[in-house]
Structure 1
């Protein structure tokens, strides 16, 4: 985890491998599994039979891929199980856009805020059209748009040493609403416009989709 002022944040999105441990120990079954599959956007939202956190595109995935098809409550429970929590929208934005490492080898300047989670541009991230990324092809045949997600830590390292705060998959954030929660950072389905700090979206908290993942934070005490 990386320290950001008074909290710590996961350096990567929670992976399938990490989530497997939780699922095994808690006998977890996701809502997407119970309903027969998660969602993907085609000409409107479409439920895909057999798509779930174990098989995000209907076939077995690698352990280092981000876990998706997990709704907000399920993500929150995972974080709590790890003595962590879902970041607030303010915490997420602070970690994504402002560098807090005094000395780093990544070229980001201490206390400087940037327009994107990788600085002045989005090159090297997994997004649609704007990132000059070496896109994978194993999932694209299942999609009408985009190429799908990639393994965590396989894209350019961003501000505060964090990976995929822009692109790859949307990430759940906590907002003051009982029915809807925020998602930040864009995904493989979108270009760079969804990665800027001011771009906010909300989704039903019980939504399980192929391009929504999450990471956790915990309070830091000296």
Structure 2
């Protein structure tokens, strides 16, 4: 079944864990300290993300998105079953689909992010984990004693003290140096411009000014926080930074401004997360 991906358009436990297993999960992720101070966020013309100044006491953010290898440690330690495994509701992409169209694949989950028929992650353990939901990300954070960044923290980190749409300025010409995105005019034909059809290994492209990799592109990153436009009668969550699927012709969320919205139990093969220290 093919359905519209609203996530992209709008943008889109461990009682048995040992101390040593938790320590591995923490120490295997490098962090960058984002310094205390005041930072400009948002944009004058952006409806969801208005221009404003915020202050932070400082925080530590993971240098990269969480990898398949680290998520596997969590699963092996806890026997955790993701939403995609339980609900059989993961959404996957296949070259040739019309714009903003994704497919439901009951076989897809983090080990087979685009479905069993399209191969697994055996040789992609250093790629970001995908086909997980916000609820799955929260479960990992609880086990590893970390947390998701807030919407503001993510933006502060992505801008690396800049006031512009991209941390290097307003023009997107340099995006290919810093992010794994879709460079084609549509998704009807494969795009291997940057060497990757889907996800890329973490830290494969240049870092931003704070030393953080893949803040734009590779996978959307779940964040904590709400917007004034969020519905009052149901919970939604937000993700930022764009993905390998996003292009300048469709979505284009690979920047510091845009904010996507998704159901907390939805799983897409372009969704992932990075963590912050508690």
Aligned residue in 1 for 2:235: 179
Contact 2:89 2:266 in 1 (8 A): no
Hey, what does 1:84 align to over in structure 2?
146
The yes-or-no answer on 1:170 pairing with 2:220 is yes
Aligned equivalent of 2:134: 72
Q: Name the structure 2 match of 1:60.
A: 120
Deviation per CA, 1:79-129, whole angstroms, max 9, x where unpaired? Answer: 12111111110000000012xxxxxxxxxxxx4444325x23312221111
Q: CA deviation at 1:198?
A: 2.1
Of 60, 65, 71 in structure 2, the residue corresponding to residue 13 of structure 1 is: 65
Is the 1:127–1:133 contact (alpha carbons within 8 Å) kept by the matching residues of 2?
A: no
What are the equivalent positions in structure 2 for 1:92-171 lying under 5 Å apart? 92-98=154-160, 111-117=161-167, 119-120=168-169, 121-124=174-177, 125-129=179-183, 133-136=193-196, 147-171=197-221
Question: How many Å apart are 1:46 and its aligned residue?
Answer: 2.0
Which whole-Å CA distance do the structure 1 matches of 2:240 and 2:80 have between them? 25
Alignment partner of 1:206 is 2:268: no
Determine if contact 2:219/2:241 at 8 Å carries over to the other structure. yes
**Native 8 Å contact 1:126 1:133 kept in 2:** no
**Cα offset for 1:211?**
0.4
Name stretches of at least 5 consecutive residues in structure 1 with no aligned partner: 99-110, 137-146
User: Once the 2 structures are TM-superposed, how far is the Cα of residue 47 of structure 1 from its aligned partner?
Assistant: 1.2
TM-score, normalised with respect to structure 1 = 0.80
- 1:103 corresponds in structure 2 to none
1:11-65 deviations in whole A, cap 9, x for unaligned?
1110000001110111111111123351125454421232211121232212101
User: In structure 1, how many angstroms separate the alpha carbons of the residues matched to 2:102 and 2:113?
Assistant: 16
Residues 157-177 of structure 1: CA deviation (Å, up to 9, x unaligned): 223111111011111111236
C-alpha change, 1:204 and 1:37, in structure 2 (3 Å) is closer
CA displacement, residues 114-157 of structure 1 (integer Å, 9 cap, x when unaligned): 4325x233122211118x95222xxxxxxxxxx21111111222
* Poorly superposed stretches of 4+, deviation over 3 Å: 41-45, 111-114
What's the counterpart of residue 140 of structure 1? none
Equivalent position SS for 1:25: helix
Measure the CA separation in 2 of the matches of 1:82 and 1:169: 21
- Residue ranges of structure 2 left out of the alignment (5+ in a row): 1-30, 36-57, 185-191
TM-score calculated relative to the size of structure 2? 0.65
